[in-house]
Amino acid sequence: ELPPSHHAATRAAALAACYLSYRRGSPGRCLALQAVRSGRRQDIDGIGHKYYLELVLEDVVDKDSTVNCTAEVLHHLGNKNIAPDVQFTIEGELKNTDEADNMFYNRIKSLDKELVAENIPDNHGNISPEMEPIRLLAWVASGYVIWQNSTENTKFQLAQIKHVKQVKRNDEYLEFDYMILLHEMVSQEIIPWQMTVLWHPQHGVQVTRESRQLKH
């Protein structure tokens, strides 16, 4: 058993929340870790460390909207190139975001020229309402990046979108090229990361390319 405030438990829980947000999130819904209710760790010989967690997740848009979730996170021994295995079960229903998602999709599709923006939020923490779905899409997509690049000793969080540019496409998908800053809470590093994100209301979020960038 691990106390819920245990560093290893909170790191595993943060990773599970990022993975969940990636799998279930959209420009209209984004999930974040609110609390760890319980945690335990199992050491599996020759394979790795497995965490069993009970979490409370909150909706980033509507902080009063919470769901309970159980998750299992397996960190493979010694191999930094294998993403952790994450499995989860959500108790109850997530709220429906079809309307918000379709509104955003239609708005971007109807733009005369491709969207370009930077510094979301700005240096005072402000985000304009029309950029909020762009930020939430980055949050959801960064969940994939964090999942793919996490180890047992890291804890990443999206800090800021430095730059985002919509990419013109001839199909029904929206594509955005993001440069984000990830805050690694253990080392306190701020790491620039590039990610190319596809999204469609019916098909969810895909990250087609992601790479850590050199710090300037």
Q: What is the pLDDT of residue 5?
A: 85
Residues above pLDDT 70, as percent of the chain? 100
- pLDDT above 80 for 177: yes
pLDDT bucket at 23, cuts 50 / 70 / 90: very high
Three-state secondary structure along the chain? CECCCCHHHHHHHHHHHHHHHHHHCECCECEEEEEEEEEEEEEECCCEEEEEEEEEEEECCCCCCEEEEEEEEEEECCCCCCCCEEEEEEECCCCCCHHHHHHHHHHHHCCCCCCEEEEECCCCCCCCHHHHHHHHHHHHHHHHHHHHHCCCCCCEEEEEEEEEEEECCCCCCEEEEEEEEEEECCCCEEEEEEEEEEEECCCEEEEEEEEECCCC
pLDDT bucket at 215, cuts 50 / 70 / 90: confident
pLDDT bucket at 92, cuts 50 / 70 / 90: confident
Domains and CATH numbers, the chain: 7-90 (3.10.450.10), 97-212 (3.10.450.10)
Predicted model pTM: 0.95
